[in-house]
């Protein structure tokens, strides 16, 4: 399931929108059924990736890995989990941004280090893989295939190969490899007797630490801690590596912290019941709606959300504006992702497979419709048309994020810049394109203020084009304008 049940961009398979790369989980808990804890932890972060799921479990003698394409519930069952005894485990849910959506790219990856085994799971995206491949070739004793011809074509396989090629212990290898990684990375990895977690110096993706009665948990979001009964301890610090073994928990810093947490996590990537930087995500989203009402008021009769991701913003907008909040769209809770290609006749039905209007609620009403973001505009165009056909007198669209202007290189799979609607059109032109009576986006300043964090502590590159970590060259990443190629706007 996505974070709020159903994301706007999942309403129309042809309108691909932002997707997060992955979710990671790890547990060290002697005497517990760690495979089952990991299963439930992965369930809690399923929204961060729905293409494949996997886990690695150690009984201190060997590491066993089970992974496959599909959702957590499709890959694992009671029999499979009972076949994975142990005290240490890591889990992963994947959405591909680097490497294709194939079995070989499912995680965790596994390799022999010469001292034992290494299993590793990664959330994020590296931006210096060419440099890392050259390093791997220089330290490897044998020929090194290009990562597209490795056992996996993901950058996760590259990290694993580097740590194994050094011929050192996992802890020693990690402290040499981690400082040379650039981009976004939250890692959980393990050997037979220890669990590790590490986060990039910018802390772009979330990673948290939790405590069990007799063990420790690391996870992409605090919601996963809640699900497995762990108490929140703190966030894993940017530039920090944590080691957990029979001697307890130890922490090592491999780089100076330069916080640049992803602002889009607050818009909809994270679950609403997650906390990031001491701010409950649901509360942030409600506050965004309040700011949206202040910045873009409307003369209307009813505020309705696009379920489910628009709900907190609509609650905030209604509260701040004094316009009643209502449910005008009903979601089919049993429609998820489908691999069945629709016929033209079915495609013309558009989003009605997943959403249907409550005609008696919206007929004759002037509506404020709150959504999380606009990517291409196809979904909003279909929604506005559907609401008008159901009798809405006016449709005023309000968006809980600024216009998405730039692609992400840190683990979110956005449409290319050429496919985004915002760079080529003004707000009024977008309103005309989707058929709305008016359109308002929350300002970047307003969105930032809702997080109660300084803008200098956030990555806002998808909105302002200021990338906090070096990005691929223009040749490697088409769509980057010339000024991005020479890094003029990097900070």
CB 310 within 8 A of CB 400: yes
What's the number of CA atoms in the CB half-sphere (13 Å) around residue 332? 12
Supply φ then ψ for residue 320, to 5 degrees.
-75, -30
Task: Report whether 459 belongs to an annotated binding site.
Answer: yes
CA distance 136 to 127: 16
Instruction: Give the contacts of 248 (CB within 8 A, at least 6 positions apart).
Output: none
Task: Report whether 59 belongs to an annotated binding site.
Answer: no
CA distance 386 to 357: 7
Task: Report whether 155 belongs to an annotated binding site.
Answer: no
H-type alpha helices, 350-434: 359-362, 378-389, 427-434
Task: Report whether 186 belongs to an annotated binding site.
Answer: no
DSSP letter for 334, please: T
Classify 124 as helix, strand or coil. strand
Task: Report whether 462 belongs to an annotated binding site.
Answer: yes
Residue 22 a catalytic site member: yes
Tell me, rounded to whole angstroms, the distance of Cα 40 from its chain centroid: 18
Instruction: Give the contacts of 418 (CB within 8 A, at least 6 positions apart).
Output: 479
Classify 162 as helix, strand or coil. helix
Task: Report whether 309 belongs to an annotated binding site.
Answer: yes
In this structure, how many other beta carbons lie within 10 angstroms of the beta carbon of residue 38?
Answer: 32
DSSP letter for 447, please: H
Task: Report whether 4 belongs to an annotated binding site.
Answer: no
Q: Which of 7, 11, 21, 22 is catalytic?
A: 22
Question: Residue ranges for the binding site for [4Fe-4S] cluster?
Answer: 262, 408, 459, 462
Catalytic residues, by residue number, are: 22
Question: Residue ranges for the binding site?
Answer: 262, 309, 371-372, 408, 459, 462
Question: Residue ranges for the binding site for Mg(2+)?
Answer: 309, 371-372
């Amino acid at each position: 399931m996505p974070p709020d049940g159903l994301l706007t961009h999942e309403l129309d398979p042809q309108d691909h929108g932002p997707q997060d790369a992955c979710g990671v989980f790890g547990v060290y808990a002697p005497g517990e059924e760690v495979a089952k804890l990991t299963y439930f932890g992965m369930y809690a972060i399923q929204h961060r990736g729905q293409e494949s799921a996997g886990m690695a479990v150690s009984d201190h003698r060997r590491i066993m890995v089970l992974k496959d394409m599909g959702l957590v519930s499709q890959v694992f069952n009671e029999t499979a989990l009972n076949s994975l005894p142990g005290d240490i485990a890591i889990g992963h849910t994947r959405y591909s941004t680097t490497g294709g959506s194939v079995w070989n790219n499912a995680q965790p990856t596994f390799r022999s280090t010469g001292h034992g085994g290494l299993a590793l799971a990664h959330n994020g995206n590296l931006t210096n893989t060419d440099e890392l491949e050259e390093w791997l070739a220089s330290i490897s004793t044998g020929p090194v295939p290009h990562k597209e011809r490795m056992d996996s074509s993901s950058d996760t396989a590259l990290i694993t190969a580097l740590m194994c090629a050094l011929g050192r212990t996992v802890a020693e290898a990690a402290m040499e490899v981690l400082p040379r990684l650039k981009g976004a990375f939250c890692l959980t990895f393990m050997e037979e007797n220890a669990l590790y977690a590490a986060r990039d110096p910018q802390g772009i993706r979330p990673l948290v630490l939790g405590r069990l009665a007799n063990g420790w948990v690391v996870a992409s979001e605090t919601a996963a801690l809640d699900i497995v009964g762990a108490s929140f301890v703190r966030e894993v610090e940017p530039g920090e590596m944590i080691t957990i073994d029979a001697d307890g928990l130890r922490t090592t810093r491999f780089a100076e912290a330069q916080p640049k947490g992803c602002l889009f996590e607050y818009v909809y990537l994270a679950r609403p019941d997650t906390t990031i930087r001491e701010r409950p995500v649901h509360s942030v989203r409600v506050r965004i709606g309040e700011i949206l009402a202040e910045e873009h008021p409307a003369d209307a009769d009813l505020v309705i959300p696009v379920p489910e991701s628009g709900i907190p913003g609509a609650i905030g907008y209604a509260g701040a504006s004094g316009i009643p909040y209502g449910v005008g769209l009903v979601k089919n809770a049993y429609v998820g992702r489908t691999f069945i290609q629709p016929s033209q006749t079915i495609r013309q039905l558009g989003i009605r497979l997943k959403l249907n209007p409550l005609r008696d609620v919206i007929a004759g009403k002037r509506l404020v419709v709150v959504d999380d973001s606009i990517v291409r505009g196809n979904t909003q165009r279909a929604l506005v048309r559907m609401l008008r056909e159901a009798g809405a007198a006016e449709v005023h669209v309000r968006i809980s994020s600024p216009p998405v202007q730039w692609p992400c290189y840190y683990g979110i799979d956005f449409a290319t810049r050429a496919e985004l609607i915002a760079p080529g059109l003004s707000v009024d032109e977008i309103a005309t394109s989707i058929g709305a009576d008016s359109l308002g986006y929350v300002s970047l300043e307003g969105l930032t203020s809702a997080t109660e964090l300084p803008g200098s502590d956030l990555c806002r590159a998808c909105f302002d084009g200021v990338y906090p970590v070096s990005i691929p060259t223009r040749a490697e990443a088409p769509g980057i304008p010339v000024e991005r190629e020479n890094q003029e706007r990097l900070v």
